[in-house]
Amino acid sequence: MKKLLHIIATPREDESRTLQVSNTFLKALKEKHPDLTIEELNLFKEELPSLTLKRVDGKYILLGGKDLSGEFKEAWEEIISHIERFLSADAYLLSVPMWNFGIPYKLKHYIDIIIQPKYLFRYTEKGPEGLVKGKKMAVVTSRGGDYSAGGMRQYDTQEPYLRAIFGFVGITDIIFINAQPMDMGPELQKEKIEEAQAIARKTAESF
């Protein structure tokens, strides 16, 4: 493992509970792999290309099995550079708070940009095939409530969605560290962050 891409999907910087857990993970990982390069992609700081008509048309050209050329190729330059940046990593850390039972819109935007036919998946006679092979992903989430059991579990669309979309492109080695509940009192919050940090340290040892 040479390079890890840390994808940040919270705008809360130093106030972020998710990042408290992620930072513990990264510190432990760096101790184990001193030569590891950690590249940060903060989705609330970097501007992502919007999916205009021309860019979406490009996706349909690729879905039709053709290559992009001319104005479509030009329109896709920024998308390709995000795809290349994503693929240049050997492993991923996603820092994702739960927003409305799912993921923050900036992460959905990023997913809509990088999950592209020909680059991250392709269709074969046997069905779709993920092209991102042999890479690991750790996902740190934090949630205001607790979705680990009981009636609340059904509302968690965050973990199932991230497992589905990254599994679809071939990243099936995914571990989740969920800090929850975060918004039900400061004592419980502290306890659950520490619990998640302990899991993060353990996860880093075998990552």
Compute the least distance from the CB of residue 10 to ligand FMN, in Å.
Answer: 4
Residue whose CB is less far from ligand FMN, 22 or 203: 22
Exposed, middle or buried, 108 (CB in 10 Å: 0-12/13-18/19+)? middle
Kind of pairing between the strands at 127-130 and 121-124:
antiparallel
- Cα–Cα distance measured from residue 80 to residue 166, given in angstroms and rounded to the nearest whole number: 18
- Cα–Cα distance measured from residue 2 to residue 5, given in angstroms and rounded to the nearest whole number: 10
- Measured CA angle at 188 (ends 177, 105), to 5 deg: 50
**Residues engaged in binding ligand FMN (CB under 6 A):** 10, 12, 16-19, 97-101, 142-145, 182-183
Tokens representing residue 33 in the block: 């792999």
Exposed, middle or buried, 159 (CB in 10 Å: 0-12/13-18/19+)? buried
Residue whose CB is less far from ligand FMN, 16 or 203: 16
Residue whose CB is less far from ligand FMN, 75 or 98: 98
Compute the least distance from the CB of residue 144 to ligand FMN, in Å.
Answer: 3
Compute the least distance from the CB of residue 78 to ligand FMN, in Å.
Answer: 26
Compute the least distance from the CB of residue 103 to ligand FMN, in Å.
Answer: 10
- Cα–Cα distance measured from residue 10 to residue 78, given in angstroms and rounded to the nearest whole number: 22
Tokens representing residue 105 in the block: 């819109």
Compute the least distance from the CB of residue 137 to ligand FMN, in Å.
Answer: 18
Residue whose CB is less far from ligand FMN, 19 or 132: 19
Residue whose CB is less far from ligand FMN, 80 or 188: 188
Residue keyed to tokens 């392709």: 122
